[in-house]
Structure 1
Amino acid sequence: MSDQLIDNQTHRLSDAINTLIPHASAARFAVGYFFVSGFNAIADSIGQLDKLYLLIGTTTNRQTVEQLALGYRRREIIEEKLREQRFAPVDKALGETAATIRQHISELQPGGREERTISTLADLIASGRIEVRIHTRGVLHAKAYIFDYRTPQPNSRGIGIIGSSNLTEPGLASNTELNVQVDDDANIMTGEGLHRDLSEWFDKLWAEAKPFSAELMRELQESWALAIARPYDVYLKMLFEMVRSRLEDDSSKLVLPEEIPLAVYQKVAVHQAIGMVKAYQGAFVADVVGVGKSFIGSAVARHFYEAERRRPLIICPKTLQPMWEEYNTRWNLNAQIVPLSMLRESKAGDGSLTTELEKDKYQDCGFVLVDESHNLRYSDNDRYRVLNQYLGDGADRKVLLMTATPYNKSNWDVYNQLKLFHHEESTRIPVEPRNLREYFRRVERGERRLQDLLVHMLVRRTRWQLLRWYGYDEETDKPVDPGNFGPYLLEERRAYLKFTTVEGIEEKKFFPYRRLRTVEYCVDDVYGQEHGQALYAEIVKMLHRRKSTSPQLRLIPEEESDTQAEDPRALTYGRYGLYSYVMPERQRDQRYLRLVRAGKNLRGLIRTSLFKRLESSVEAFRKSIDRQVLVHKNFLTALDHGKIAAGPAAVRELEVALDDTEEALQDFMEALAEAEEARGFAYDIKDFRVKDLQRDIEHDLQTFEYIQSLVTKVKIPESRDAKLQRFLLDLLPSLMKNKKLLVFTQYEDTAQYVWDNLPTSLKQRGHLVTGDTENLQDIVRRFAPEANPAMDGSLPKGKPLDLVITTDRLAEGLNLQDCSQVLNYDLHWNPVRLIQRFGRVDRIGSRHEEIHAINFLPEQAAEKELGLREKLSQRIKEFNEILGMDSQVLDEKERINPEAVYAIYEETSGRHLGRFEGEDSLIGATLADAEEFFRDLRERDPLEYERIRNLRDGLRTARQSTEGAGKVLVLGKAGDFLRLYVRDLKDQPVDIDTIEALRLASCSPNELPSQLPANLNHVLTSVKLRLEKDVDDLWAQRKTRSNLTAGQRYVLDWLEKLKRERPVLDADGGIGKLSEAVSRTRQKRFQTGCDRLRRGQAVGEMLLRRVRQLYYDCGLHLERAAAEEEEVEMRIPRIVAVYALVS
């Protein structure tokens, strides 16, 4: 091949340029694309030129005429696109080209060669030896490299290279190009020749072009290679990038139906939730009670139906089914609605097990909303298994979980809910380690924080956060200053939220003030005395747990009893701790080892129930004792017949004995199932110390019978029940004066007892609600008609209700804000349940300025002269003594929280509950508040917001730090992938949470940068390699067939078979194109079509025709370009920010 032909195979363009530069005084380069990396190959020699004139095209417009012709077949469309490029605004062209160069610099490998090139290029521009202009009039498709000889000859003043190569690294060295070196061959007399012609051609374009040296110089000087940024700016850059997608998602694609009235904060939540669901297949909406989560959920469901044709399936507690059915009709959600109670297995006609969700009508549901999802926090029950199977069948269903309390007893509550949509253990959530189960194990060990994971998929705001970021001052009607929120917390000022009705009317809505009131009663006056002793104290002593009555019984350490049980009549709770009675040689048998944990759980739940019922009402306690007597008699009868009571009958018996709330029953049933193996395992009585067991059961039976004799109705009639009489005589008359009252109790027995003793006049104005109550929606509408209007505007049937006595069946989800008073008949140990109950009336937009919670508090006769705190301390002491070591098995709502107990009963203002309301949010303030900070900044100071938004990628800084010295924080990004890497200066990974790392990076705006560590580039090179590997792994995971539905895999198998066995059908590559589309798309409509082909057993050419029709009907031919662009973006990782902490 001639030396004058340059194809980058035999001869490289970079070699030709480096050869010519030493002989040239000046050069003119005209190229379509310019990238800094293109200078790498010629940077060392380019400085030998006196002047380089560099003319570049607008790198944002990369479409050539040929590329346009491929995309647009019609000539007039091609001409229109070219005209748009030719007359594009100059400022826009300059700005977009600068932005493209900026992005390219951010993608360069840190340190070394690239850093030197950027420095050299900046020096040459600064000295005026390189001048850059940009061709803005259309596409600069020509490429020319023109050199002026330093010592011109009469017939050769210079030389040129023209052809296809751009000033890029591939264009100079690796691409297959074709360029030709053209000699001048000038006329000696006239000087006319190719060099002069090329120079005149260039000079004409140069005169038309716009100066770009200053813009390019700015990009170089402010790039990571030359600038050390302010630590505060790098910190803000990191925060912004972590919430950028939530702030900048294309809102034009967000379908927000006008008929669903949403406040600004609700629209933000909808926006956030949709982004999270798209990123991770699911999300939590966990705003506190009373702020309209159901409106948010409805809007999200409607969006996915309108935008992606994903029909919603709404799963909710039975009590909320009427509400969702009304929303479904009112807002055209097109949803199927299934109560949680229907998530169970049942026998089909052929005897096989089936579930409600296996019915055909649910198969096309692609979006699942679970309301009050904390009811699915346990994985070992039917309803969880049924739903998890439905969500995990490969049908690409997206999930929204709604609950104010995602966390109850354990971090695993959150894990189980999370697994409903995050089916794989490996995760691309930016946490370390990248295995969910291992991450949760580390949370359990205190090595990780749950907040750092949930911040990526949980929307959670308290009422104070909403008012701080979205509120308006009542007096000035101006936005609340987030930095001066203290007066609102102290109730010195009041703020409201703005709502706009469907009719366009703006409304101000306030949160009502919370007011708490403690009502004391003497518990000794409830239970009376026996032989001069207060029965309450005597009963409490008997509820303690003592050691076995058998001195020979060996108790293992896990079964140690409480040391404070001194009363010889104290219970052994032997029925609920069977492991203690297993023969020593059988105690390590796997069948019995599981009884250790199960025994703790059962004892804790039984002891909790007995103690709380003792306080709740004498009737509830009386019935519990009656049931325990029956349970223990039955157990002894079974022993007499040579059996250990187990199996379904024993389970039902103990379930009745507990007769507790649904949550406690669920905990109890799981513990019992673990202990009793209710599905068929029978204990071998020979494996037990039967005499010891029988002795303890008989002892407990005697104690229960004795207690039973103390609390009969004859001894404690209703007229002697001081608590009941205080309620009926002292409280009800004043509370019911022209007001509504909602009375909560944890126990059905207490609710029925109170109801039965109401005067007839109040019963006519009231209603009792328990687990068996039907027509709940009618009761709700009669009690709160304003908050629950009928769609047709009709009034509720039946008399209006002013009083409702209820269990916690009404504590979830319902809007009862016509009422302003909640009375809690039972003692509260934890604020979670109080806040949940309060939330039925404590709602945004309440017409009541104040809402009141009245809480009963028992005191003993000897405590009447004590202060309130001393009385509370005594109750807390009793609770801890009775439960002892078993208290840890309790649900979070049932566990004692001393600080909260004091706040509930000592304070009269409910504003203090806010700090407990946020306790279960599980979300670190760093990113959640960062997002709100940037939203607020965008409104208050848009220029500063834009400055932060446009901070360039690759920013570097260093800051002195005593706590974090020696750590380097590196934020990497590729497409929608974002991960923070933390290394030490020896390039070893540092085991630290993202949120903790951001805390170390936080600083004031005034802090100056320190000198960058000497070996920083080495660390960054290693991190860049790890980032590239992580991105490659993620991309491979996205393309794997395991992410496809069964229908897609079926179609792919047939397409591959047709391509292999009938190649004539793939003569035009059509089958390959279809296979690529089937593998790529996650479009619900197409997946549903593939599933129908599988179920219909379509095969051969018929399947091919149907798939081809689906391909065009679903617009997959239009998705290809977008998918290719996504792949390009995803496969180019870059370092976004670097923050070194030095000593």
Structure 2
Amino acid sequence: MPARPSLVDNAETTHAGALAYLINDHDPHHGLAVATGYVNLEGLHHLAVNVTDGRAVRILLGASPAPGLSAMPLLPHFDRAIEGLRQDRNLARFPPSRAARLQELDIWLDRRDVQVRRFTERFLHGKTYLFGDAQDARAALVTSANLTNAGLSHNLELGLANYEPMVAKAAFEWFDGLWETAEEFKAELRELLFPDPGLIDPQTVYLRALLELFDAETEQPVSPLNTVQLAPFQRDGFRRALEIVRRRHGVIYADGVGTGKTEIGLAFIEEYTRRRGSHALVVAPRQLVRHWEERIERALLPARVVTYHELATDEQLTPSGTPKRARRLTIDKDVYRLVVVDEGHALRSPNTTWQRAMSRMLGGERKDLVLLTATPINNGLWDLYHLVMTFALHDRAFAADGIPSLRRLFVTAGANERDPENLDPDVLFPLADMVSVRRDRRFIETHYPNAAFPDGTPVRFPQPVLTTERYDLDEAHPDLVLEVVVAIDELNMARYRPSAYRIGGEPEVHEDTLSALLQSAVLKRFESCWRACLLTLERMLAAHDAFLAGWEDGFVLHGEALQAAAGQELDETGLAQWLAENPVEECAESVDLFEDRFRDLVARDRSILGRLVELLGQMDAQHDPKLKLLRSVIDKSPSQKVIVFSTFADTVRYLDENLPDPLGDRQRVTVIGAETNPDERSALLARFCPDTVVRPDYQPEEGEVDLLLSNDVLSEGQNLQQAAAVISYDMPWNPQRVVQRYGRVIRLKSEHEQVHLTTMLPEPGDLEEILSLEAAIRRKIKAARTFGMEIQVLQGEEEREIRSYARRLTDGDPSLLDETDGEGMSPSLSPEQMRSRLRRAFEEGEAERLRRLPWGIGASFRQGPGIPSTGQPGVFFACRTTTGDKYWRFVEAGAAEVVNSQAPILRRIDPGNALNVDQPSVDLEAAWQTASASIMEEHNQQAASAGDPVPVGPIQRWALEVLRNPLAPVPKDAEDAYLALSIDRNQPVRSALGAIRRDHESDLISLTEAAIRILEVVRSYGLRPIEPAAPLTAITQDEIAVVCWLAVLPAASGAGGHTGAGP
């Protein structure tokens, strides 16, 4: 037997070892008395597994002050110590192997001979472990070590064990004196460590999981506004948007069309100007400026309103030499603290002048940005990236939220992919929820069924009635559609693809893309209106004649072809945006550089174009079946006020020229894009909808009209709800266009019970021909964009996609009206639905119960009919590390896959009204081992790379090298510029640096001049060094706790639903 311990320092002899010796060395009738200033679960468990001989045990719990805090009241220190026990308990309740130790402690504390008291009269600095009692004192270990695992084994402690009866007796008298004044605490301790959570069903666990996601933002108080009056759903949205802005300095407010986003903008303006005493700026399209000015004036709020183009030409936000540069902002840009942007999706394109101006606006003194838009995504996932980067300002803005790089996140989501099979927008679910508020019409109707505006008006939308009207162009010319579609398909588009015929060259992707976009535009113009198509064909014919004449003179002028294409109204094809992002220059080259077949193919296309011009030239308005149908649809409309939308200005001109005015008893106004200046546009709209464009009971001087013809310039932002009918004269080629067109009349506070939405389409057989060619062109575009990659372009995929959309349009599918953004922010999984569910539980008094639930709770349910859960069965874990980092994992049945993305997990764990399954045959321990290993791998990889330098793109790397080059002397304060550029910035900054690099590489500027211009970019964009996120530290499995778990079981055999193998 080893010698009795005397000096105990956790080096040669540990306190745990000394206690074990003393317990074995003293008969069980000698009791144990422990006084400790701090205790944790490991310390209590150490006693439970070592004192198993029936020995009486007294534990006196006190509180030790933290260094420098001894002047604080005692009870908060004790409560802090007890809170540590609560955290220990949470960590110990799962998995089953860990919970077994808690059960051992439970059994031990249940013994009558184990007593616990707490001493709260004074701080307890002394720690003792005494054997015997005052009458028969056997040993006293007096030490600095608390009853914790670290105190007993690891910390640098110092204790002396004394076996002299007189000394041990004195120690007992000290202990007994404290014990007599202490309070019984065993019952409270057991309640703390072994709480009764009550009935735990799948619904409770699901709500607890939602609390993990949303608790930080629930029940945030917002003082009522004085001027701007909001409906309940707007108040809730505004409250959440304010919280997002507080955290992120920006928000994408993406409620559906017609839900009153203007009111949200006004509420922000009141919050900032009236409550915070700050300045606010509103940026809006030209056609909405007057609307904003009137609303701001009516609300008696101070705010400056400018157009996008005014923002892009303000002298503070644009470099010298910018055309029309002038003073647009009346005060210094850094005085503003709030910028509200209406139709904020205009900032989706990173290379526009207004995006560059906005980046400069938001630089320098920090400002908050509110983007109001119903369609944050239109062309792809990068749309959302550019919107977020507008206010995030740099790539690592969300590093503290587990997103080390925004760009890498979007690449992982498939933003570069053109094959939808390779897209994974679920990856973006957490980010989208962090930065956006998005509730559609159906959400508002469902969750606010009896709500009303402050003026008593019900929160109600008119019921949309979607119909399709068919026309047959063959009535005017037999087989017209077939002949035109076949001819367009035969076009080689060689005129727009010169690189494909350059001797020894390679085809350029951007030319293939352009040519396909242009071919698609010709087709869409034909579907819209024969006259609009004819005008485009005549312009293309002239361009081909010019090319062939140039060839005869020995040169090829091909940049001009792209510029000419830019002049076409082809925005629906995406061509305008493409050209903005891929600028081209005129280029005349010798025909000797090109293959002879280049000229032959252009001549062949010229012949096809001539045939098409001749064919469409036989048409006239008098015998146009589509125009005739339009007159009939207008005549039969149940609404007196009717709006007719078309994609193309040429189509609207044709209608304006060939429809009688008045048409029946309806006089009309016509608004065509840029041809109608803002003042004229406002006056025309005031004649059509005076009550909503100006004010109720407004009487236009020139009289009120009931028919409006317009291209899609008016399909964004305008409130035209006096009308109850919208006719799409041509096919809206994506759901966003459907939403924007019909959103002009499906609005809150509409006086109509129903609104009638009509789409005019060709006869089914003709439509099939058009759709087939459009699908083929889209495949060409996709193939061009994936050139050089091993990505197969599937023939059936585009046709399925476009036919599915056309079928829904034809069938009048009302769900189209809620598809506000395509991929990336799918309404099928709505965080707002989940928030509403959690809010409802809170309103029913469940908030405190959910928050007080111990960790480690779990339940099981089966998938099946009527149960929302979809996907593979398995086990879900909501976890936290001891430092508070949150991780979710779903281990599929048989550990086939570990899912770590929130969106697919949320789809699987919604139990609906499913019943709990008692004692499911699930190996929770094995599933936990898999989940925790995945969490450790992710966390520790991030921890290991925390100190690594953050890579930046090649343009910024070049700029950093210039600033570090000793041959380019720069001011001393250039160090801040270097640090500011050491993290990836948004596209406008990279573009500005790219222009400097090109000038330097072309020997237009010296190295020193390049350095000076780089510093000017940093200054003009207000770039500042970024504080790095707090580094992570590596963890072990013992530092991961399970907040809650759910076992998702497959549907019972024969019950339908998922039938995969159970876990």
TM range (shorter): 0.7 to 0.9
Alpha-carbon separation, structure 2, partners of 1:829 and 1:972 = 46
Tell me: CA distance 1:1034–1:283, structure 2 relative to 1, closer, same or farther (3 Å).
farther
Q: Does 1:523 align with 2:473?
A: yes
The worse-fitting range, judged by mean Cα deviation, of 622-631 and 985-994 is 985-994
SS at match of 2:761: strand
Tell me: CA distance 1:104–1:26, structure 2 relative to 1, closer, same or farther (3 Å).
same
Q: Does 1:126 align with 2:131?
A: no
Aligned to 2:1004: none
Provide Cα deviations, 1:319-375, integer angstroms capped at 9, x if missing partner: 333334445555677655553345658998865899899988334555554443433
Alpha-carbon separation, structure 2, partners of 1:166 and 1:378 = 61
Alpha-carbon separation, structure 1, partners of 2:204 and 2:183 = 38
Tell me: CA distance 1:977–1:121, structure 2 relative to 1, closer, same or farther (3 Å).
closer
| CA shift for structure 1 position 125 | 1.1
Provide Cα deviations, 1:964-996, integer angstroms capped at 9, x if missing partner: 578774633567742224568999983664333
Q: Does 1:245 align with 2:211?
A: no
Aligned to 2:233: 265
Aligned to 2:1012: none
| CA shift for structure 1 position 811 | 0.6
Aligned to 1:745: 646
Alpha-carbon separation, structure 1, partners of 2:422 and 2:404 = 11
Provide Cα deviations, 1:916-935, integer angstroms capped at 9, x if missing partner: 56865425527553333222
In the TM superposition, 1:348-363 aligns within 5 A as 361-363=332-334
In the TM superposition, 1:143-182 aligns within 5 A as 143-145=126-128, 147-149=130-132, 157=137, 166-172=146-152
SS at match of 1:251: coil
| CA shift for structure 1 position 810 | 0.7
Question: Which of 677, 688, 692 is 2:594 aligned to?
Answer: 688
In the TM superposition, 1:340-419 aligns within 5 A as 340-342=308-310, 361-365=332-336, 368-387=339-358, 399-419=369-389
SS at match of 1:637: helix
Letter of the aligned partner of 2:721 in structure 1? Q
CA contact (8 A) 2:426 2:904 kept: no
- Give me the TM-score of the superposition, normalised by structure 2: 0.74
SS at match of 1:516: strand
SS at match of 1:856: strand
Question: Which of 491, 498, 501 is 1:578 aligned to?
Answer: 498
Q: Does 1:453 align with 2:428?
A: yes
CA contact (8 A) 1:977 1:1031 kept: no
Aligned to 1:810: 714
| CA shift for structure 1 position 173 | 5.2
Q: Percent identity?
A: 21
Aligned to 1:1088: none
Aligned to 2:90: 106
CA contact (8 A) 2:37 2:127 kept: no
CA contact (8 A) 2:875 2:893 kept: yes
Q: Does 1:880 align with 2:759?
A: no
Alpha-carbon separation, structure 1, partners of 2:307 and 2:551 = 41
Aligned to 2:726: 822
Letter of the aligned partner of 2:192 in structure 1? L
Question: Which of 439, 443, 448 is 2:412 aligned to?
Answer: 439
Tell me: CA distance 1:1014–1:241, structure 2 relative to 1, closer, same or farther (3 Å).
closer
Alpha-carbon separation, structure 2, partners of 1:164 and 1:286 = 59
CA contact (8 A) 2:875 2:927 kept: no
Letter of the aligned partner of 1:626 in structure 2? E
Aligned to 2:192: 216
CA contact (8 A) 2:56 2:113 kept: yes
Alpha-carbon separation, structure 2, partners of 1:831 and 1:963 = 27
CA contact (8 A) 2:314 2:327 kept: no
| CA shift for structure 1 position 403 | 2.9
SS at match of 2:692: coil
The worse-fitting range, judged by mean Cα deviation, of 1027-1036 and 317-326 is 1027-1036
Alpha-carbon separation, structure 2, partners of 1:366 and 1:846 = 34
Provide Cα deviations, 1:544-571, integer angstroms capped at 9, x if missing partner: 22xxxxxxxxxxxxxxxxxxxxxxxxx3
Q: Does 1:659 align with 2:562?
A: no
In the TM superposition, 1:184-583 aligns within 5 A as 195-206=172-183, 211-219=187-195, 234-246=205-217, 248=218, 251-252=220-221, 254=222, 257-277=225-245, 282-299=250-267, 314-328=282-296, 337-342=305-310, 361-365=332-336, 368-387=339-358, 399-422=369-392, 423-424=394-395, 435-441=408-414, 444=417, 446=421, 449-458=424-433, 459-472=437-450, 498-501=451-454, 505-525=455-475, 528-529=476-477, 535-545=480-490, 571-583=491-503
Alpha-carbon separation, structure 2, partners of 1:298 and 1:68 = 50
Question: Which of 510, 521, 526 is 1:598 aligned to?
Answer: 510
Letter of the aligned partner of 1:469 in structure 2? H
Alpha-carbon separation, structure 2, partners of 1:717 and 1:987 = 68
Alpha-carbon separation, structure 1, partners of 2:952 and 2:6 = 50
Alpha-carbon separation, structure 1, partners of 2:272 and 2:730 = 43
Question: Which of 12, 27, 36 is 2:32 aligned to?
Answer: 27
Counting matched residue pairs gives 933
Aligned to 2:69: 67
| CA shift for structure 1 position 124 | 0.8
Tell me: CA distance 1:184–1:319, structure 2 relative to 1, closer, same or farther (3 Å).
farther
Provide Cα deviations, 1:645-692, integer angstroms capped at 9, x if missing partner: 233x44432223x2234774424525xx75xx6246655543311x32
Alpha-carbon separation, structure 2, partners of 1:324 and 1:894 = 42
Aligned to 1:1085: none
Alpha-carbon separation, structure 1, partners of 2:480 and 2:309 = 41
Tell me: CA distance 1:974–1:894, structure 2 relative to 1, closer, same or farther (3 Å).
farther
Structure 2: gaps spanning 5 or more residues: 786-796, 864-869, 954-959, 961-979, 981-1028, 1049-1061
Q: Does 1:785 align with 2:690?
A: yes
Letter of the aligned partner of 1:872 in structure 2? P
Provide Cα deviations, 1:879-898, integer angstroms capped at 9, x if missing partner: 31366344564999999733
Alpha-carbon separation, structure 2, partners of 1:312 and 1:471 = 34
Aligned to 1:702: 607
| CA shift for structure 1 position 848 | 0.7
Tell me: CA distance 1:379–1:893, structure 2 relative to 1, closer, same or farther (3 Å).
farther
Question: Which of 820, 830, 838 is 1:934 aligned to?
Answer: 838
Alpha-carbon separation, structure 1, partners of 2:306 and 2:745 = 26
Q: Does 1:587 align with 2:513?
A: no
Provide Cα deviations, 1:1109-1129, integer angstroms capped at 9, x if missing partner: xxxxxxxxxxxxxx9999999
SS at match of 1:855: strand
Tell me: CA distance 1:1002–1:118, structure 2 relative to 1, closer, same or farther (3 Å).
same
SS at match of 1:294: helix
| CA shift for structure 1 position 514 | 1.0
Tell me: CA distance 1:206–1:884, structure 2 relative to 1, closer, same or farther (3 Å).
closer
Aligned to 1:479: none
Q: Does 1:724 align with 2:642?
A: no
Q: Does 1:1136 align with 2:1043?
A: yes
Letter of the aligned partner of 2:505 in structure 1? Q
In the TM superposition, 1:849-864 aligns within 5 A as 849-858=753-762
SS at match of 2:675: coil
Provide Cα deviations, 1:1006-1037, integer angstroms capped at 9, x if missing partner: 22344545556755664564465367579879
Tell me: CA distance 1:289–1:897, structure 2 relative to 1, closer, same or farther (3 Å).
farther
Aligned to 1:898: 803
Alpha-carbon separation, structure 2, partners of 1:893 and 1:781 = 42
SS at match of 1:105: helix
Letter of the aligned partner of 2:446 in structure 1? R
CA contact (8 A) 1:601 1:889 kept: yes
CA contact (8 A) 1:263 1:500 kept: yes
Aligned to 1:1112: none
Aligned to 1:612: 524
Alpha-carbon separation, structure 1, partners of 2:365 and 2:129 = 60
In the TM superposition, 1:1016-1055 aligns within 5 A as 1019=930, 1022=933, 1025-1026=936-937, 1029=940, 1032=943
Letter of the aligned partner of 1:972 in structure 2? R
Letter of the aligned partner of 2:87 in structure 1? Q
Letter of the aligned partner of 2:429 in structure 1? L
